Amino acid sequence: MPLETPQSLLIVDDHPLFRKGVRYLVNMVPDFIIVGEASCGQEGIDMALELAPDIILLDLNMKDMSGIEVLKVIKASGSDARVVMLTVSDQASDLVAALRAGADGYLLKEMEPEDLVEKLAEAAAGRITLTERLINLLAHAMRHDAAHPKSSSEAGLTEQEQRILERVAAGKSNKLVARELGITEGTVKVHVKHLLRKLNLRSRVEAAVWFVDQQK
């Protein structure tokens, strides 16, 4: 389904051929407008702050600095951009590290071109931007980590926190959650912070995957 408004996209990757391939692919659909391409981490940071794109497609492994380092700087700047990691690594440790640093999604470079466009649209809509295989990988890692509660009751989630978590898992923004529940956006942020602490998680994506896994 086409997006209501075209999304601005910044590509950060140190492989020229890969950037060219993504540009060619994205230019074939009207949903995205590429506003910049960065060939290294520092350039990516500079362009992210200058251009304020809606979505940043970020490589995990670059020569000058890692994608995780770039991600942390961008998130610390207060940027509202949704950052999706695009990498060759399917290691659970890399996936968890990226999500804990604030990544809004994590995709593999081996995926089919049409699937990449579909996942970018999901990112633009605020939904979980992970392939099914990576969702299962993350869920498995969390399931076998004693630090994470096995259920909402074990975590001690309140009914309100449970309602908010359900909406976060559906990809809804704090603003939309607030509107649906008749509370302020600030109150939603406080609840999200509390439920992440109770679940011993650091990101909304992790929380969403944890919630989805609980429904199985």
pLDDT classification of 212: cutoffs 50, 70, 90:
confident
**Which residues belong to CATH 3.40.50.2300 in the chain?**
7-133
**Rounded CA gap, 147 and 163, in Å?**
23
Average pLDDT across the chain, whole number: 89
Give 101-158 pLDDT, tens digit per residue. 889 899 988 888 888 888 888 888 877 788 888 888 888 877 877 778 888 899 999 9
Contact 98, 85 (CB under 8 A): yes
* pLDDT for residue 192: 92
The three-class DSSP label of residue 7 is strand
pLDDT classification of 2: cutoffs 50, 70, 90:
low
Q: Which CATH number fits domain 7-133: 3.40.50.10330, 3.40.50.300, 3.40.50.2300, 3.40.605.10?
A: 3.40.50.2300
Give 163-198 pLDDT, tens digit per residue. 999 998 887 888 889 999 999 999 999 999 999 999
**Rounded CA gap, 171 and 166, in Å?**
9
* pLDDT for residue 205: 84
| CA proximity to 143, closest of 72, 88, 209, 44 | 209
The pTM assigned to this predicted structure is 0.78
Contact 174, 192 (CB under 8 A): yes
The two most distant CA atoms of the chain are separated, in Å, by 50
What value does the mean pLDDT take over residues 193-207?
Answer: 89
**Which residues belong to CATH 1.10.10.10 in the chain?**
141-214
Beta-sheet pairing, 55-59 with 105-108: unpaired
3 has pLDDT over 80 = no
Encoded amino acid at 54, one letter: D
Contact 205, 99 (CB under 8 A): yes
69 has pLDDT over 80 = yes
The three-class DSSP label of residue 90 is coil
Name the token pair of 6: 């075209």
CATH architecture for segment(s) 141-214: Orthogonal Bundle (1.10)
The three-class DSSP label of residue 118 is helix
